[in-house]
Copies of this chain bind each other. A is one copy, B any other.
Amino acid sequence: MARGDRTTLADVAADAGVSVSTASLAFSGAGPVAPKTREKVLASAARLGYRGPDPVARSLRRGETGVIAVVVGDRLQRSFSDPVSTQTLDGIAQELGERGLGLLLVPSDTFGDVPPLLRHGAMDAAIIAGLSAPGDPALRALRERGVPVVCIEATRRDASTVEIQDRAGTAELTGELVALGHTRIAVITLPFGPQRHRRFFDPAGDVRPAYTPTRNRWAGVRDAGVLPVLAVEPATSLVDEGVACGRMLLDRPDRPTAVVAASDLLAAGVLLAARDLGLRVPEDVSVAGFDGVDLPWLAPDVLTSVTQPLTEKGRTAARAAAALAAGEKPRHHLLPVTLRTGTTTGPAPR
């Protein structure tokens, strides 16, 4: 509400010569009101320039705000460079919009300080849309306030969750590569946790990333019976980073014949790096990604990838949040993925 001297329901009621309660009913429609009376009230409202019930007062009275907070990565410019984020957010926004719920966008890293809004903002529930590691302070802050939470791509008790078949999807994808005869396969994972750095790691070692999808997609590779010849943890899941990781993997004598990247953006980067190094894809090296996002600027290539239903993921999360706000119990959702064979994978070179 704009500050200042609004006309209130009481003014309207007075003008119409009815009681406030009757005027209220005329607006909300809840309860029996004589058509004539309603007309009168509406007319008075129009005359006085009354814009309908004050949302804040209504919220206070009804005990609900109609607002769902959506927590995304701290740097929007970065988060939103990833179609995975934007498409998910789009799904959330669509579903919330259709339900008349508000979307409070809260940028917050899942480590470090929690923005005051998360502690004090008005909300009925929250969706943590960015990657969230165990002990996530944002999640903790929300819990302490008693705000019900939906986590996307994170395994949590006491919260609703929306996940996809990361593990099975990656296993299937990797299996395809094996079937094509590849034995020297390299992997680029997702970032392991909040402290981001680019590095080789020992694929035979004890690999336990804090982030759930990172862990699951890695497990999927192993499920396919593959022990990567090289494994890189990237600092982010963006194109630039894919280029950098691609160089590390491809610009060496013992380069692999196939690279499985845990995201399409990373895979796209690898593709660019390969082109830059004069390698043909897929003749010299196969490249596969994950997410199934649309990357038109990669044309004429189309990434071989695992397609996940991003918009539906967002919608599911939004529905889950609405359900929690309505007092339902937390639930866990698992969405299916499908393999998409593009132009970037082929038989292993001999």
Contact = CB atoms under 8 A, between A and B. Distances in A.
A86 interface: yes
A145 B7 CA distance: 11
- Quickly give the copy total for this chain: 2
Q: What is the interface of chain A mostly: helix, strand, loop, or mixed?
A: mixed
A64 B55 CA distance: 11
Contacts of A223: none
A235 to B, nearest CB: 15
Given A146-B4, A147-B2, A297-B297, A77 B90 contact: yes
A116 B87 contact: no
A220 interface: no
A194 to B, nearest CB: 19
B120 A55 contact: yes
A3 B105 contact: no
Contact of A102 (B54, B90, B104): B104
Given A51-B144, A60-B60, A94-B107, 10 more contacts: A1-B63, A1-B147, A3-B64, A4-B146, A67-B122, A70-B105, A97-B117, A102-B104, A104-B105, A272-B299
Q: Which 3 pairs from chain A and chain B are nearest by CB?
A: A2-B146, A76-B90, A80-B86
